[in-house]
Every structure is written in C-alpha cells, then in structure tokens.
Chain A
Amino acid sequence: GAVVSQHPSRVICKSGTSVKIECRSLDFQATTMFWYRQFPKQSLMLMATSNEGSKATYEQGVEKDKFLINHASLTLSTLTVTSAHPEDSSFYICSASDRNYGYTFGSGTRLTVV
C-alpha cells in the first residue's frame, strides 16, 4: 500500500528559529500534498494545499510567509515554520494524494517551541 514518511517525528526548537518538516511519498507519486495542524484535543485543521511545481494554496488565516511550503518533486513536500513562537507548538501532519491510493497520511511531527 501507499506509504507517506514524515520527518522528524518530534522536534524542540528555540523561539525565533526555523524548523523544516519533510513529507515523502515512498512508493507513489503525489501530485498534491496537504499540510494539517492539530492542537491538543482538537481536530485536524487544513493549513495549505501543495501542488508539485506550483505555489501552495493557503487556508484563510494561515500566514504564507511564516509557513513556507515547497513541493519541488512528486515525492517530497516540505513545511518550514519560520521564526517559530511558542504558539506554533502543535502537531503537524502531512497527507499525500494520488488517484490510485487516495489519501495517505504521515505519522505527524510534534513541534515544541521553547
């Protein structure tokens, strides 16, 4: 079946620094990838849609200059949280989409900003 690898699984960073999260589709090509954020005891909230070779589409209220998304190949999308603040601490999850496999989710990244 389809596998999506997300790395790192956990990261702790200092306020003001940037953190990059990678999302890879291991055995299929993902024309579209999605980035979600999840706060404790809440549901997943879509942050942005990433299409290979084009600019990401951000949901309302998500700052594109703070959450940089790059989808340079059909198997890799990255989310960079720039100038991280404690309120950015959350669980970030990527999903890769393919016409044959549908949606497959990564295992998530727990970001803690101190």
Chain B
Amino acid sequence: DAKTTQPPSMDCAEGRAANLPCNHSTISGNEYVYWYRQIHSQGPQYIIHGLKNNETNEMASLIITEDRKSSTLILPHATLRDTAVYYCIVRVGPRNAGNMLTFGGGTRLMVKP
C-alpha cells in the first residue's frame, strides 16, 4: 500500500471549514484513498473514500487532485465533536476485503470554540 504523509496536528475554529491535507505521491492506479477518524478512546470511524473523482457524503467531502498524488478532506462546518485524529489511508479497493488497513500517524485536529 502507498505511504501517506499528513501534518501531525491542525487547529480549526468551530463553525469554520476544516481542510485536512494528505500526500500520497506513490499511489497506484488501483488504489483508493480512505479517510477514517478516531475520537479519543474509541475505534476508528469511516468517513469517506474515493478513487479519482471528488466525493461527498453527509460527513465530509474528499477532493483528490487530478494526478491523484494528494487529497484533502473537508469538514464543511467543524464542531467540537469533530476533534479527533484523522487518518488518510491508501490501499486497494473495498472489494479486496482480505487486506488490512495500515495506519500512519494521522492528523490530530483540534476544533476550538
């Protein structure tokens, strides 16, 4: 699986958009970008994933650059409950359920009042 690079920490004001970047310059053509988050003392929670098109769901938006070497997770209106560690993971698609997820250091997002 391709390695990812994320800033170790970020702050965001409550109500503002949180933009979390991720570099994955060695991504392969069949690898997806997944985002999970982990709130303190809980298991990781799936947020969103994509291959090459931008994706949006009720939690967030995922913007993937045209060359697929980087992506940005956008939380449009961050709340205090969005304070968590956000992990960007690159791996082969969801149908390949037999392979594990490899977690990097993630970005610790602190949403402040």
Contact = CB atoms under 8 A, between A and B. Distances in A.
Interface in A1-50: 4, 6, 31-32, 34, 36, 43-46, 49
Given A31-B97, A32-B98, A43 B44 contact: no
Interface size class, chain B:
20 to 34
Contacts, number: 55
A39 B44 CA distance: 14
A110 interface: yes
Contacts of B103: 36, 43-45
Q: Is the interface of B mostly helix, strand, loop or mixed?
A: loop
A31 B95 CA distance: 12
Contacts of B97: 31-32, 97-99, 102-103
B76 interface: no
Interface of A: 4, 6, 31-32, 34, 36, 43-46, 49, 51, 91, 93, 95, 97-99, 102-108, 110
Interface of B: 36, 38, 41-46, 49, 87, 94-95, 97-98, 100-106
